[in-house]
Structure 1
Amino acid sequence: EAEELLLQVVETCRKLFGEDHRETEYSINNLAWTYRRRELWEKAERLEVYVLEKIRTRFGEHHSSTWTAMGNLSHTYRNQGRLKEAGDLDLQRVALQEQSLGEEHPTTIASKEDLAWVYSSEGKFDKAKKLQKDILKLSARVFGEESGVFRGFSANLATTYREMGHWKKARKLLERLVEACRKAGTEKSDGALDNMAALATMYRMTGHLGKAEALIKEVIEGRTELVGRNHPWTMSDMSILAATYRDKGQLKEAEELLLEKERANEYGRSRPAILRHMGILAGVYRDQERWKEAEDLERRALRTSMDVFGEENPDTLLTMNNLAFTLHAQGCVDEAISIMTECYELRVKVLGSQHRYTISSLECLEEWQSEHRGS
């Protein structure tokens, strides 16, 4: 209904004011925002490209409206898995803002953080780390080290450390952030809960499963009070708890928690939350050697991820990798090798040949091919 109404508004504005009037552009922007909320990325992209060109022509490159339009389009590209296009747009935006506003302006700093996110998603972790350290220095001067903004940027650096395999650095940084929030009495805020969830994940990854379980349960309780139990953020936290149960060998508890949410259809329209859920549940099935159930779930997850994010998205490639392992375990060697080959080639393209995920895919592929030749 909202889409139909906004489409009518756009047509009315075009008739009353013309194609180039600000009211028309404003109505198109509202429609694009609705598409973004509904995760209709292709529809959003078409409108955002149109709006950016109109605004750029009217105001020029150095106007804040142009930067906002560039940011909206970059956000859509990121959600489509089109990271290079998002990064190119963010680079332009940062350069323009540094020229017009200076490097210490909050708008410039925020755009740099968007660019760092793209670098990290592309697997360019050295670039992401360098930029995020620069951002921290700038935000310490502009906002102060006790500010929520500084803490948010620190948490993003911790995520980069985690992806680089620097788990000790990531854990220590997150522990400092969580402790600072507890001292300030802000541990129930969105940002603090995000940091606590990230720390719980680090505890899980480093084998501190008791700490992970206790902390993520605290997060779920706080998040439920803040946004409700059925919110996608809470669902994401519950996926972390399910993954912790899985690591502890409590497969029944993990499966029950995940199936409870699936039966209740409580993930809403959040595709990332759905895919995380499916990935963890498939892992629970693999651990129990319930290969066919794992395969069916991973095929569904791969189709969904391909449709929503495209084949070059890192999460799509992770799902592809897991499906190949499941097929190999069932003796479907030819299909497993075929899928892993595609996964490896795409990881080289997206992440580079030296990324740890790319190297892992190559090592696995070479092992399977060697076994297959010898059989």
Structure 2
Amino acid sequence: MQRNTQLDHTPATPHQAVRVHQLIQRATRDTLTPDQHDQLAHTAANALTTAWPAIERDTELAQALRANATTLARTAEDALYRSDAYDVLYRAGRSLGEAGQVTAATAHFHRLTQTSGHHLGPDHPDTLAARHNLAQWRGEAGDVAGAAAAFEELLADRLRVQDEDHPHTLITRNELARWRGEAGDVAGAAAACEQLLADQLRVQGEDHPDTLITRNELARWRGEAGDAAGAAAAFEQLLGDQVRVLGENQPDTLTARGNLAYWRGEAGDTAGAAAAYEQLLPDQVRVQGEDHPHTLTTRNNLARWRGASGDAAGAAAAFEQLLADRVRVLGEDHPHTLTTRSNLAYWRGKAGDAAGAAAAYEQLLADRVRVQGEDHPYTLTTRNNLAYWRRKAGETPSA
């Protein structure tokens, strides 16, 4: 490491190769005129946006970019909102969510909604975009009913400020359908996606990426409504179009491969589902990285379908390994971490350890209640699973 009175230079750590003490940063800013300060803030914001990769495979780089964006917002927020340089703040928030820090992403977009409304006004497109992101990450953090309500309010404002055929209005309709489905209205989500798809075909065309996303959602909710074979067939058709339009390595194409595998399994081809996920996993690691939330989801599904194909012990071992990575990447209280704990308990029970499964579900239930509340659907499911494995273990459920 090279050091002088102003900076540290550590070439061995490329994402933090040059670090300047906060006092030096402050002293440097204090020498600038207001115009120089604003111009420097714009330059820094644009540099960060340019450096930010579309797919975050390098977690250390992503952390460094978010840290720089946070510092920039703290020292030059007003300057950013006097140009389009505040785009970096939206990117930083999405980066938090994509890294699995969904609670932090929710808090980030809550602040961004307030500051954007203050600087730009409540009806400005970027304020509406901040509200969109806030609703999305609120849902990802587990408040699915709140997300659905927020998107319903946002849609009303989109229709008032923009129009019914505006791309952002159509995207908001997609998200509203999704979170209504997540909140339990599966049939309503499927019907809403079907109506939206007709409008997107009219306005945007069959090969538009947003049209393909809606086809993905429509297939999913049809499957959730009970038509697993129809969902698998729809995903097979969609995958061919995504490969043609987007390419094999585009993240939405990889997601469609996972969805096709999932619904093939739900339609009865458990071995085929496991094989498809096994083929998908190395491609996701190569394109998105080992710690990407979608890669972790594929590992989850691969373990599940291996278990469903008869390898309960292998599934339990795979979920145990996955849980360690979920905790490291997402944190102990993330909904996906809690789901992995549920899956691990289930397959331990299927592998013969009913008492261990019951004990794991008992611990999980306490955390579900603390994190998601007593009436959350996943909390209620955990109660049922606990009762089941207690019976299997020969215990008498408590009152």
140, 150, 153: which one aligns with 2:172 = 153
The CA distance in 2 between the partners of 1:84 and 1:278, in whole Å, is 23
Amino acid at match of 1:232: P
Matching of residue 86 in structure 1 with residue 105 in structure 2? yes
The CA distance in 1 between the partners of 2:51 and 2:379, in whole Å, is 36
The CA distance in 1 between the partners of 2:233 and 2:55, in whole Å, is 35
| CA pair 174-3 structure 1, distance change in 2 beyond 3 A | farther
Match of 2:255 in 1: 236
Match of 1:192 in 2: 211
CA drift of 1:144 comes to 1.6
Match of 1:178 in 2: 197
| CA pair 30-338 structure 1, distance change in 2 beyond 3 A | farther
CA drift of 1:325 comes to 0.2
Match of 2:311 in 1: 290
CA drift of 1:293 comes to 2.1
| CA pair 36-204 structure 1, distance change in 2 beyond 3 A | closer
Gaps of 5+ in 1: none
Match of 1:261 in 2: 280
| CA pair 194-223 structure 1, distance change in 2 beyond 3 A | same
Match of 1:123 in 2: 142
385, 389, 397: which one aligns with 1:368 = 389
| CA pair 118-349 structure 1, distance change in 2 beyond 3 A | farther
Match of 2:8 in 1: none
| CA pair 26-5 structure 1, distance change in 2 beyond 3 A | farther
Aligned residues: 371
* C-alpha contact (below 8 Å) 1:175/1:199 kept by paired residues: yes
Match of 2:120 in 1: 101
CA drift of 1:321 comes to 0.9
Amino acid at match of 2:395: G
Matching of residue 58 in structure 1 with residue 76 in structure 2? yes
Matching of residue 305 in structure 1 with residue 305 in structure 2? no
Amino acid at match of 1:300: Q
| CA pair 372-261 structure 1, distance change in 2 beyond 3 A | closer
Could you state the TM-score of these two structures normalised by the residue count of structure 1? 0.85
For each residue in 1:282-338, what CA deviation from the matched residue of structure 2 results, as whole angstroms up to 9, or x when unmatched? 222222221122123222322232222122221222121111100011222343234
The CA distance in 2 between the partners of 1:34 and 1:265, in whole Å, is 16
| CA pair 262-134 structure 1, distance change in 2 beyond 3 A | closer
Q: Is the radius of gyration larger for structure 1 or structure 2? A: 2
Match of 1:280 in 2: 301
The CA distance in 2 between the partners of 1:285 and 1:201, in whole Å, is 22
Amino acid at match of 2:362: T
CA drift of 1:245 comes to 1.0
| CA pair 277-343 structure 1, distance change in 2 beyond 3 A | same
The CA distance in 1 between the partners of 2:160 and 2:55, in whole Å, is 34
The CA distance in 2 between the partners of 1:61 and 1:351, in whole Å, is 39
| CA pair 193-348 structure 1, distance change in 2 beyond 3 A | same
Gaps of 5+ in 2: 1-10, 30-36
User: Secondary structure of 2:338's match?
Assistant: helix
202, 214, 222: which one aligns with 2:241 = 222
The CA distance in 1 between the partners of 2:239 and 2:395, in whole Å, is 50
* C-alpha contact (below 8 Å) 1:267/1:273 kept by paired residues: no
Could you state the TM-score of these two structures normalised by the residue count of structure 2? 0.80
| CA pair 5-57 structure 1, distance change in 2 beyond 3 A | closer
| CA pair 134-264 structure 1, distance change in 2 beyond 3 A | closer
| CA pair 66-87 structure 1, distance change in 2 beyond 3 A | farther
| CA pair 130-151 structure 1, distance change in 2 beyond 3 A | same
* C-alpha contact (below 8 Å) 1:62/1:97 kept by paired residues: no
The CA distance in 2 between the partners of 1:16 and 1:283, in whole Å, is 51
CA drift of 1:198 comes to 1.0
The answer to which of 186-195 and 59-68 deviates more is 59-68
| CA pair 122-272 structure 1, distance change in 2 beyond 3 A | closer
| CA pair 46-352 structure 1, distance change in 2 beyond 3 A | farther
Matching of residue 248 in structure 1 with residue 252 in structure 2? no
136, 155, 159: which one aligns with 1:136 = 155
**Root-mean-square deviation over aligned CA pairs:** 3.4
The CA distance in 2 between the partners of 1:135 and 1:165, in whole Å, is 20
* C-alpha contact (below 8 Å) 2:254/2:284 kept by paired residues: no
CA drift of 1:5 comes to 6.6
User: Secondary structure of 2:205's match?
Assistant: coil
| CA pair 294-133 structure 1, distance change in 2 beyond 3 A | same
CA drift of 1:80 comes to 4.3
User: Secondary structure of 1:37's match?
Assistant: coil
Amino acid at match of 1:295: A
Q: Percent identity?
A: 20
**Which one has the bigger helix percentage?**
1
* C-alpha contact (below 8 Å) 2:148/2:179 kept by paired residues: yes
CA drift of 1:209 comes to 2.8
The answer to which of 273-282 and 150-159 deviates more is 273-282
Amino acid at match of 1:146: D
